[in-house]
Amino acid sequence: MTDWLSPEEWTAVRLSLKVALVATSASLLPGIAMAYALERGRFWGRQALDVLVHLPLVLPPVVVGYALLLGFGRRGPMGSLLAEQFGVVLSFRWTGAALACAIMGFPLLVRAIRLSLETVDRKLEDAAGTLGAHPAWVFFVVTLPLILPGIIAGMVLSFAKAMGEFGATITFVSNIPGETQTIPSAIYTFTQVPGGEGGALRLAFVSVAISIAALWMSEWMARRVRRRFLA
Amino acid sequence: MAHVSIRDVRKSFGSVSIIKGVDIDILDGEFVILVGPSGCGKSTLLRMIAGLEDITAGEIRIGSRIVNDVPPKDRDIAMVFQSYALYPHMTVAENMGFSLKLKGMPQVEQKKRVGDAAASLGLTPLLDRYPRQLSGGQRQRVAMGRAIVRDPQVFLFDEPLSNLDAKLRVAMRAEIKELHQRLKTTTIYVTHDQIEAMTMADKIVVMHDGTVEQIGAPLELYDRPANRFVAGFIGSPAMNFIEGCLEQDGLALPSGTVLPVEAQLPVARGSKLTCGIRPEHLQIAPPGTPGSIPATVAVVEPTGADTTLIVKAEGGHLTAVLRERSTLRPGEAVALKPAAHQAHLFDEQGGRIAAA
Ligand SMILES: Nc1ncnc2c1ncn2[C@@H]1O[C@H](COP(=O)(O)OP(=O)(O)OP(=O)(O)O)[C@@H](O)[C@H]1O
Ligand SMILES: [Mg+2]
């Protein structure tokens, strides 16, 4: 059943899924917090933070990858700190690929959550306060359920971005088969060698199939949430 | 239940002053209505009482406690919003029981309290529905039910009926009043509809541009408006205003009519005054009747119970409400005779002039 993809191709597919899932789940909580801070917060430097979060959306991915290499590479300030203190190495590891993907997808995640936060009727939160609810409780019982569709949409976008991320990943963690070679890097490698067309085509199909499945699943989840919760 | 006192309360958004020093005393169990034109700051004041807006200056007390720095959840109030603010992801029962769940009340007790409130509001068959499956009137009841279940010291209502159709509004008006008579909870109710204010309130606070124009019982405001603003705001159709000049034998109107006034007015002869006459205090008289205002009929509006007559007179249009049915036609000449001693007089600043 699995022989229509070669073992190396399977490895790339598995790795891509792992990287994308880890990147998306790891950025979920920070993404919700960031969206909330940017949408509701009134603090000094909010706009600068907004720009910083959105930067990966407009920068060339290679630049983001290079910045990660400088910061989180073995000799980078963050990289050496993580390696010495926690024994965590990111450069040229799949964890580094996940970090690159998470950063590239973060603005998409934050944007989607923020948009749905914007549409939440503030009176619903006000009402909870007048009914005796603590602000933290208001967030979990009122706000969070209302922005769930936005969170799902943001996660799908972030997952899709991670599945397709190439420039930042290859710059930061290179293209090591079995460690950092995701579907896009594998396709790239196939196109560089004679007779690689078949592999490139097969992986391209897989990547289309995964994207469609992700979209379909998010649509289904969003519909369920909406039917359960919202008008 | 609690007494609420508002002392020289002010509110600014940035440099814009919205509430400009308001003093109101609300007695325990009283039903007080804040009324005023759109944008006068009613909702802002109510939200300050609820704790949803901070207070720029002044003091608000609920019971014996100064609540300026108390968060909404600890003020022991319940607020009903114009948009109802029901939770779309909760059923009617969950919405109504929201405050009880927060208190950690046992399930059985919660169910009983919600059930009782639902029964009193006719919501029992709807308890398992979601707000989206309800009509506007039903949502409004659920919002009230959610507030009632909390059993607060004070109810705050912000235009709870303005999204309902005219007929339902009248029915809900009576229902809210009945509810208040049963529960006797101190209530502060905001509306821009003076009829709602007149029919429901124990005490009306008329606001205008961030200040209080007058506080009093409905009929007190109707019979003795403190100024021209209140006189024009309370009453429907609105009071007629005619500019005149105070002379030896009365107030000379532009039509030449001299309206008799009390002899002991604290203003000099020759002063310009505004005379206010309620529509029901103008009666039809044969043209030429002494002391009447000559006019031409412009519009006749029969409502069934009475007839509203709009006429064109020297100095502007006048409205009269006649108890009887009328055969008058537009264009006909009539005379309107003000009822004796029913005119309100205002000076050029709009303040009421009372006989000395
Ligand atoms: N958050 C805010 N920031 C700035 N201005 C505000 C804010 N909230 C209200 N205002 C202003 O305060 C004034 C009073 O508003 P408020 O909502 O209290 O009026 P209102 O009397 O309730 O009117 P309506 O009958 O239309 O509801 C308005 O001019 C409004 O523009
Ligand atoms: Mg308002």
Judging contacts by C-beta atoms under 8 Å, the chain B residues touching residue A126 are 47, 50, 52, 72, 79, 81, 85
Please give the pLDDT value at position B256.
84
Contact A72, A79 (CB under 8 A): yes
Query: Which candidate from A123, A132, A230 shows the least CB-CB separation from B73?
Result: A132
Ligand 1 centroid vs B210 CA: distance in angstroms? 10
Lowest average pLDDT, out of A12-21, B104-113, B225-234, B322-331, goes to B322-331
Strand ranges across the sheet with B344-346: B258-259, B250-252, B240-247, B272-277, B344-346
| Structural domain for A212, as ranges | 7-229
Could you tell me which of B8, B26, B2, B9 has the C-alpha nearest to residue B215? B26
Could you tell me which of B229, B219, B205, B225 has the C-alpha nearest to residue B49? B205
Could you tell me which of A29, A26, A156 has the C-alpha nearest to residue A102? A26
Could you tell me which of A139, A131, A136 has the C-alpha nearest to residue B50? A131
Could you tell me which of A76, A164, A60, A155 has the C-alpha nearest to residue A116? A155
Does A40 reside within a domain? yes
Q: What is the mean pLDDT of chain B?
A: 93
State how far residue A221 is from chain B, nearest Cα, in angstroms. 15
Does A90 reside within a domain? yes
Count the neighbouring beta carbons within 10 Å of the beta carbon of residue B236.
12
Q: How many CB pairs under 8 A join A and B?
A: 66
Confidence tier at B248 by pLDDT (50, 70, 90): confident
Judging contacts by C-beta atoms under 8 Å, the chain A residues touching residue B156 are 130
Does A86 reside within a domain? yes
A133 in contact with B, Cβ within 8 Å: yes
Please give the pLDDT value at position A1.
47
Does A64 reside within a domain? yes
- Phi and psi (nearest 5°) for B336? -115, 125
CA–CA gap between residue A39 and residue A24 (Å, rounded): 21
Please give the pLDDT value at position B267.
86
Query: In this structure, what CATH number is given to the domain that contains residue A73?
Result: 1.10.3720.10
Please give the pLDDT value at position B356.
56
Measure the CA dihedral B145/B148/B154/B156, to 10°: 0
A226 in contact with B, Cβ within 8 Å: no
Tens-digit pLDDT string for chain A (231 aa): 457 888 889 999 999 999 999 999 999 999 999 999 999 998 999 999 999 999 999 999 999 999 999 999 888 899 888 888 888 888 889 999 999 999 999 999 999 999 999 999 999 999 999 999 999 999 999 999 999 989 999 999 999 999 999 999 999 999 999 899 999 999 999 999 998 889 999 999 999 999 899 889 888 888 888 776 655
Please give the pLDDT value at position B268.
84
Please give the pLDDT value at position A229.
64
Please give the pLDDT value at position B264.
79
- Rg of chain A over Cα atoms, rounded to whole angstroms, equals 20
Q: Which residues line ligand 1 (CB under 6 A)?
A: B 13, 18, 36, 38-44, 192
Section B168-174 average pLDDT: 92
Does A225 reside within a domain? yes
Instruction: Give me the residues paired with residue B73 across strands.
Output: none
Helix then strand then coil, % of chain A, to nearest 5: 80, 0, 20
Contact: A133, B102; criterion CB under 8 Å: yes
Does A1 reside within a domain? no
Count the domains in chain A: 1
CA–CA gap between residue A94 and residue A30 (Å, rounded): 21
Does A163 reside within a domain? yes
| Whether pLDDT at B201 is above 90 | yes
Mutation pick from B46, B67, B77, B87 vs chain A, by most beta carbons of A within 10 Å, is B87
Mutation pick from A116, A131, A227, A228 vs chain B, by most beta carbons of B within 10 Å, is A131
Please give the pLDDT value at position B122.
92
| Alpha-carbon separation of residue A9 from A119, A178, A184, A187, B258 (angstroms) | 43, 10, 11, 9, 104
Indicate which atom in ligand 1 lies nearest the CA of residue B207: 21
Contact B158, B190 (CB under 8 A): yes
B97 in contact with A, Cβ within 8 Å: no
Section B35-47 average pLDDT: 96
A121 in contact with B, Cβ within 8 Å: yes
Contact B233, B209 (CB under 8 A): no
Q: Could you please report the per-residue DSSP string of B143-163?
A: HHHHHHHH--SEEEEESTTTT
Ligand 1 centroid vs B56 CA: distance in angstroms? 15
Question: What is Dmax (Cα atoms) for chain B?
Answer: 78
Count the neighbouring beta carbons within 10 Å of the beta carbon of residue B340.
10
Q: Which domains does chain B have, with CATH numbers?
A: 4-227 (3.40.50.300), 237-353 (2.40.50.140)
Q: Inter-axis angle of helices A183-192 and A7-40, to 10 degrees? A: 130
B78 in contact with A, Cβ within 8 Å: yes
Does A151 reside within a domain? yes
Ligand 1 centroid vs B41 CA: distance in angstroms? 6
| Sign of the C-alpha dihedral computed for residues A58, A61, A66 and A72 taken in this order | positive
Please give the pLDDT value at position A224.
83
Ligand 2 centroid vs B43 CA: distance in angstroms? 4
A123 in contact with B, Cβ within 8 Å: yes
Confidence tier at B1 by pLDDT (50, 70, 90): low
Section B272-279 average pLDDT: 93
Higher pLDDT residue, A2 or B265?
B265
Please give the pLDDT value at position B73.
94
